């Protein structure tokens, strides 16, 4: 990468930046206080537990998405199944994530604490699949081989808005069943149709899977804006589409968001697959490369991303949605993991590399420098930790009058110059 001083930038990057202030956003904080017991009570509902017979081997699917209580929910699911006389094991249901290898997917689960020592059941990872059916156009419908060979399958996942399409059913148990449980092979087949067809393809494929595999039930979770578990529900196959649709409505109502809708520069401290399938969530940034309706706010001119999270293990899928990154982030990219993910999704622009600058400070200055019709000291800048952490944010002084007038926002610090270290590193929230 060329040194900054070698890049011809008219006037350089020594530009005035506005002062910033900490702001608190308020959201509904309804949550479950005892998640483990809630899971067990849901599985012990008569109509659910009647599906589990003593001696059954049951494959419990866990994904790559970062979910606050995921290891607790998996452990509670294992405990409930054991109490009913079953023999559960865990399998990764995450499509091509984890570098599309069995070892990589098992390591992803381990980073979330999902291991035999904690959850009480062995983790069995494979990329081998079985074709159980096909769609009307001949598209193969595949599922994890070990799960298919078990006596029963239980899937555990968070229900939330998807990052690339809008439909009654978006990201949750149905998508995990079709794409996650299909591994890289099944995920590739489904993505061939394009996300704009997922509203139709995913329910059709899930119907085939439920008809030809031993799917017992799913454990659906909904989180509030603070990444706390607000809803846990065991869902039977015959009610899956109806209940996931209803829970998605609740998820959209509870999710966090940026309450300021016009932003010049959005600074995201870190991105990662545990944060969003696209590294940083278009539902929060308003930026979707698919031109899909439903992602119109906030209106953001430039997005700056400073780093990859440790949990993403170098997977930088979605990076192409940013405008500027840092050299630190650039150097942390695991290209095989990122490429396998974006190739499977068919969205190759998800791996495009934005302009990389040596420091946080220079990355932010470049974004401000290239704003259209905005004076440097008047830039509307918002800094967030990531797109899941939205209670405390930092906003620039020109936005403070809107903060004062918003019923769900409050100022928690006085405006001050942006805090960079001598080496140009931005102080984290």
**291 and 233 within one domain:** no
**41 and 22 within one domain:** no
**155 and 213 within one domain:** yes
Query: What's the confidence (pLDDT) of residue 297?
Result: 83
Tell me if 57 sits within 8 A of 87, measured CB to CB. yes
State how beta strands 57-62 and 152-158 pair.
parallel
**314 and 249 within one domain:** no
In a domain, 423, yes or no: no
Query: What's the confidence (pLDDT) of residue 173?
Result: 97
**233 and 145 within one domain:** yes
Query: What's the confidence (pLDDT) of residue 165?
Result: 86
The total number of structural domains that make up the chain: 2
**299 and 243 within one domain:** no
In a domain, 426, yes or no: no
**175 and 135 within one domain:** yes
Q: Which class for 136: exposed (0-12), middle (13-18), buried (19 or more C-beta within 10 A)?
A: exposed
Query: What's the confidence (pLDDT) of residue 1?
Result: 60
**285 and 189 within one domain:** no
**77 and 45 within one domain:** yes
In a domain, 71, yes or no: yes
- Cα gap 395→87, rounded to integer Å: 52
**193 and 110 within one domain:** yes
**317 and 236 within one domain:** no
Query: What's the confidence (pLDDT) of residue 345?
Result: 87
In a domain, 422, yes or no: no
In a domain, 47, yes or no: yes
Which CATH number fits the domain that encloses residue 239? 3.40.50.11440
Tell me if 194 sits within 8 A of 292, measured CB to CB. no
Q: What CA dihedral angle connects 104, 105, 106 and 111, to 10 degrees?
A: 90
pLDDT along the chain (429 residues), means of 10: 73 93 96 97 97 98 90 97 98 92 94 95 97 96 97 97 90 96 95 91 96 97 95 98 97 95 97 92 83 76 97 94 97 95 90 96 97 95 96 97 97 97 97
Structural domain boundaries enclosing 337: 4-27+257-411
Last residue of a domain, one of 254, 278, 303: 254
**207 and 89 within one domain:** yes
On whether the pTM is more than 0.75, the answer is yes
C-alpha to C-alpha distances, 334 to 64, 272, 365, 402, nearest whole angstrom: 16, 12, 27, 40
In a domain, 427, yes or no: no
Query: What's the confidence (pLDDT) of residue 294?
Result: 64
């Amino acid at each position: 990468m060329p040194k900054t001083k070698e890049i011809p930038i008219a006037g350089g990057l020594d530009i005035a930046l506005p002062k910033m202030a900490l702001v608190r956003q308020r959201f509904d904080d309804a949550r479950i206080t005892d998640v483990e017991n809630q899971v067990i009570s849901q599985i012990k509902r008569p109509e659910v537990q009647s599906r589990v017979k003593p001696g059954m081997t049951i494959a419990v699917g866990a994904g790559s998405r970062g979910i606050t209580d995921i290891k607790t929910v998996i452990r509670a699911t294992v405990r409930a199944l054991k109490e009913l006389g079953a023999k559960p094991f865990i399998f990764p249901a995450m499509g091509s994530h984890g570098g599309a290898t069995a070892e990589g997917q098992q390591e992803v689960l381990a980073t979330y604490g999902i291991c035999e020592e904690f959850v009480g059941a062995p983790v069995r990872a494979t990329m081998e699949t079985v074709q159980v059916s096909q769609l009307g156009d001949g598209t193969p419908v595949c599922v994890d081989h070990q799960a298919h060979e078990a006596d029963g399958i239980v899937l555990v996942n968070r229900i939330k808005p998807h990052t690339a399409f809008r439909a009654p059913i978006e990201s949750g148990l149905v998508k995990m069943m079709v794409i996650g449980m299909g591994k890289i092979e099944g995920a590739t087949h489904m993505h061939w149709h394009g996300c704009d067809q997922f509203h139709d393809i995913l329910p059709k494929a899930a119907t085939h899977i439920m008809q030809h595999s031993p799917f017992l039930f799913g454990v659906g979770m909904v989180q509030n804006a603070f990444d706390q578990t607000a809803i846990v529900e065991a869902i039977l196959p015959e009610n899956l589409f109806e209940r996931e649709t209803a829970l998605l409505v609740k998820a959209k109502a509870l999710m966090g968001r940026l309450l300021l809708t016009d932003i010049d520069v959005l600074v995201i401290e870190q991105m990662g697959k545990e944060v969003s399938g696209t590294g940083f969530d278009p539902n929060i940034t308003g930026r979707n490369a698919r031109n899909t309706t439903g992602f119109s706010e906030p209106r953001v001119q430039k997005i700056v991303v400073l780093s990859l999270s440790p949990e993403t293990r170098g997977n930088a899928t979605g990076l192409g949605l940013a405008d500027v990154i840092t050299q630190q982030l650039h150097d942390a990219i695991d290209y095989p993991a990122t490429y396998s993910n974006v190739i499977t999704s068919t969205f190759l622009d998800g791996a495009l590399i934005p302009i990389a600058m040596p420091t946080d400070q220079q990355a932010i200055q470049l974004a401000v420098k290239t704003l259209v019709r905005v004076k440097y000291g008047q830039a509307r800048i918002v800094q967030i930790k990531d797109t899941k952490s939205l209670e405390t944010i930092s906003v620039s002084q020109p936005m403070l009058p809107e903060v004062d007038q918003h019923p769900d926002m409050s100022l928690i610090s006085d405006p001050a110059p942006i805090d960079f270290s001598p080496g140009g590193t931005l102080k984290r929230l």
